[in-house]
Amino acid sequence: MKVKDQSMTLQKDMIAEHFTRLSKAEEQGKKVVYTFVPGNLTELILAFDMLPVLPEINALQSGMRKKSGRFITEAEKQGHSEDVCTYVKCDIGMLKSGNIGPTGEQLPKPDLLLLSYTGCFVFLKWFELLQQEYNCPVVMLHIPYQADGAPSPNMRNYIAKQLREKVVPALEKVSGKALDGAKLSEALAKSARAEEDFVWVLESAKTKPSPIDAYFGGVYYIGPIFTFFRGTDQAIGYYSALREEIEDRLAQGLGPMTPEGPMAEERFRLVVEGPPNWTHFREFWKMFYDEGTVVVASSYTKVGGIYDLGFRHDPEEPLETLADYCLGCYTNLNLPSRVDLLEKYINDYDADGFVINSVKSCNSFSAGQLLILRELEQRTGRSGGFIESDLVDPRYFSASNLKNRLESYFQMLEQKRGGVHK
Amino acid sequence: MKCVVGIDLGSTTTKAVILDDQGKIIGRGITNSRSNYDVACDVARTEAYIDARFGLLGQRLGHLDSDGHLLARLTKAFRLQQYLQQLNNLNQRMAYWARGDRYADCRTELEDFLAHFSQEAEAYGERLFLGDEKPKSDFFRDLAGFCYNTEAARFCEENEMSFDVLLGIYDKSILEVENTPLDKGFGRQIRTAYTRLADEVTGSIFAMVDAIADEDLEEVNAVGTGYGRQRLPFDKAQIRSEILCHGLGAHAMYPNTATVLDIGGQDTKAIQVDPSGLVTSFQMNDRCAAGCGRYLGYIAEEMNLSLPELGPLAQSAAKAVKINSTCTVFAGAELRDRLSDGQKREEILLGLHRAIMYRAMSLLARSGGISNEFTFTGGVAKNAAAVEVLRELVTENYGEGIVLNINPDSIYTGALGAALFAHRDVCAGHLLEAV
């Protein structure tokens, strides 16, 4: 049985609608910008009436729809090694298989590759490959890594300058339109409204029992704001509806919705670091909810922007606010900042422990995770679990091994708690 | 007597430990894991109860058997009885298959061979259990298989018969024998067994043995663990992770244990425990079972050795050949390559042991390192060469002060932990019924 919240259906419809829009881009004369989720400049792209395509979203959607394995094999046939990021291989394989998107509709070619670099080295190589395929212009937005743990005014100015002098002119050239500052500000104001409701939803997990799962459910909640809809009325509508839905769950004292209905009992509250596995997403989720485990906060739901620390897009300073947004994405944080954030989540959300899902594909995420594990255990006194899988390569999802480790971890938490079966 | 049982269903062997109502170990049983997990669990449990009854008998015999000789003889006579019972079952199964149409052309030779094997295997059993011959394994499948292979090879050579035909019949039949639960009639078996020792055993001992056979061992709780734990015929609440069970089992064996390394058939676990035996952190090998016990099993097969022979041979090496791969599949190629280079078998073998232990050290480091005391468990802990390498690497990486504990019964660590959980549940009033 598959049970969905209304918001999940709404989100799915919005994404599907966007893919349909993309499939008609060429016939409708719409220009297309390929870009990445961390540091995406959706408001700016939409201000030029251009359509964004996010290759990571294509890959993860293909993973969820069981198409990624075939695409990865195709990319490997083209010579991409086993060690290459599977998002990249999935994307390249999809392209080589006719560029049919996850919903079965044709994806348009890019008119511009907007390379927003926010901590992931692979992004550079990825768009190099796409540039060779499409022979289209690339504009790079370099986001300085937060090596010292905090953004500086210089960094902010550096990004705003790049936006003003490189990115906006490139968008103007490709779209044939001048930047409409008022339109951009209006979109940023809409972003801020949606962000308010989004943060309220994330923070609802502080309640016991939590009305949401902030990882498995969270990936649905971040959908609109991390992808094509930030700065739109649709996003405002979605987050307002989502908030109402969660308010209702809170009022009824209900736990999170799972694919098999509302979770009956909240036994463990966890924080999760690392992206989920997409190829066996429901099976992976089931390993948690079957044990009464709810994820109350996660770092993955911050890759497209960290809003719960107070950042909101500011329509008064359009380019500078985009700079602040890009600087603050989770992928752009250094290791100590990531530890601080996870520690804060464990404490603020009163988690029983934390799990790190170390994915084979993603060096940006995985490097240093064992250090994170030790440091968090030391600082919080709460136990960490360590599991390994992959983003979209189904060959790296070993269900029985994962289940074995997770069960052991949950039993360890139970034992530590001094429960019945100590 | 009320008792609880813990069962560890591993990928290679299934172990059972029985505790009395005070939490004291009274019996241990082990069998090879097989396709039918229920039977493996049942056999290990039956074996543990048999061991418990012999343990009780030892206590009762007291001064009548101060050197333990009588108990050892009775145990061996009992084991022979079990062996013969399984042999009888095997003979019946093979006779059944031999009647099949596909063997019409060679039926006479086949029946001749099976009759010959039956006699040889019975004599072999008597030499093993009541004579001086040392068994190469604890399991019937291996003992009968050894005898069958030897006799079949000889017979085929003398009679120009296909070895594959004989092997095929054995393979089918041994599977069926293995998937048949053991005879649980301890009293009946021991009474048959002691008639073999009529000259050694007096009437009062017979009465004592009869009393033990009739002793009521009431199982009030059972907890299962191990790789196949989900397949155990237990309620979910009676299933515990092997991590927790190994942690608790190691703590029970050595109360100062802080770090546990368990190398089992297909996984390696590095576990940190607190002073009360609670697991605080753990790491397991992921995606790949390189460097686990199966690796040694595979190497033993490649070298035509039995598992217990590996360690001593490796220990006889003057130096170790450097081997980087711990991939079980590559191990054979690695081995042949080194042999063709003229390297000595024992030096290659020592190199393979080192490769396994390097991998274990990496996992230990990931789990938080080694703290004092350090307990090594699992089947590989029985391998003296592996232990020697481990000891060396621990000193090299963590200094001289680490105490390394290895219990002769370390293979039962997981089952002991499970039994202790079962005992705790009973003490806490959370009595669960076995399904």
> Of all residues in chain B, what percent carry a pLDDT higher than 90?
53
CB proximity A386 to B under 8 Å: yes
Place B430 in a pLDDT band, splitting at 50, 70 and 90: low
Return phi, psi of residue B328, to 5°: -60, -35
**CA-wise closest residue to B384 among B326, B328, B325, B308:** B308
Place B431 in a pLDDT band, splitting at 50, 70 and 90: low
How far is the C-alpha of A144 from the C-alpha of A118, rounded, in Å? Answer: 8
Place B64 in a pLDDT band, splitting at 50, 70 and 90: confident
How far is the C-alpha of B31 from the C-alpha of B14, rounded, in Å? Answer: 5
Q: How many CB pairs under 8 A join A and B?
A: 58
Joined together, the tokens standing for residue B87 give 């042999």
> How distant is the alpha carbon of residue B379 from its chain centre?
8
* ipTM (interface predicted TM): 0.75
Residue with token string 């009022």: A251
Residues of B (217-256) whose Cβ lies below 8 Å from A: 227, 237, 240-244
Among the residue ranges B368-372, B379-383, B389-393, the one predicted with the least confidence is B379-383
> Largest Cα–Cα distance of chain A, in whole Å?
68
For B22-32, what is each residue's pLDDT tens digit?
Answer: 999 999 999 98
Q: Would you list the domain boundaries of chain A?
A: 6-180, 183-417
Helix axes B345-367, B293-302, angle to 10 degrees: 170
Domains A6-180 and A183-417 fall in the same CATH topology: yes
pLDDT at B199: 78
Query: H helices of B288-412, where?
Result: 293-302, 307-315, 328-340, 345-367, 384-398
**Is the per-residue pLDDT at B326 higher than 80?**
no
How far is the C-alpha of B360 from the C-alpha of B371, rounded, in Å? Answer: 15
CB proximity A408 to B under 8 Å: yes
pLDDT at A422: 40
Least CB–CB distance from A405: residue in B244, B284, B424: B284
A334, with CB counted inside 10 A (0-12, 13-18, 19+), is middle
The residues near B91 (Cβ < 8 Å, ≥ 6 apart) are: B114, B117, B118
Return phi, psi of residue B249, to 5°: -65, -45
Return phi, psi of residue B277, to 5°: 90, 5
Q: Distance of CA A241 to CAs A188, A196, A201, B198, B292, Å? A: 20, 13, 11, 87, 52
Contact B284 A404 (CB under 8 A): yes
Residue B258: CA count within 13 A, CB half-sphere: 8
Stretch B315-342: mean pLDDT: 81
pLDDT at A380: 96
Q: What CATH code is assigned to A6-180? A: 3.40.50.11890
**Is the per-residue pLDDT at B434 higher than 50?**
no
Contact B241 A404 (CB under 8 A): yes
Helix/strand/coil for A329: coil
In chain A, which stretches have pLDDT less than 70?
Answer: 1-4, 419-422
Joined together, the tokens standing for residue A193 give 């409204």
Contact A408 B424 (CB under 8 A): no
**Is the per-residue pLDDT at B260 higher than 90?**
yes
Domains and CATH numbers, chain B: 2-66+217-238 (3.30.420.40), 79-178 (no CATH), 255-406 (3.30.420.40)
- Other beta carbons within 10 angstroms of residue A338's beta carbon come to 22
**Is the per-residue pLDDT at B232 higher than 80?**
no
Burial pattern A363-384, b for ≥16 Cβ within 10 A else e, equals ebbbebbbebbbbbbeebebbb
**CA-wise closest residue to B252 among B370, B375, B371:** B375
Give chain A positions within 8 Å (CB) of B282.
408, 412
Q: Pairing state of beta strands B268-273 and B259-263? A: antiparallel
Among the residue ranges A97-106, A334-343, B184-193, B240-249, the one predicted with the least confidence is B184-193
Return phi, psi of residue A418, to 5°: 75, 35
Joined together, the tokens standing for residue A294 give 């709810």
How far is the C-alpha of B386 from the C-alpha of B388, rounded, in Å? Answer: 5
Q: Pairing state of beta strands A257-258 and B13-20? A: unpaired
Q: Are residues B269 and B261 in contact, defined by beta-carbon separation less than 8 angstroms?
A: yes
How far is the C-alpha of B339 from the C-alpha of B330, rounded, in Å? Answer: 14
Tell me the CATH class for A183-417.
alpha beta
Stretch B381-406: mean pLDDT: 94
Contact B244 A411 (CB under 8 A): yes
Find, in chain A, the residue whose alpha carbon is nearest to that of B429.
A420
pLDDT at A3: 61
The answer to pTM > 0.90 is no
- Other beta carbons within 10 angstroms of residue A205's beta carbon come to 30
> How distant is the alpha carbon of residue B205 from its chain centre?
31
Q: Which of A40-49, B235-244, B380-389 has the highest mean pLDDT?
A: A40-49
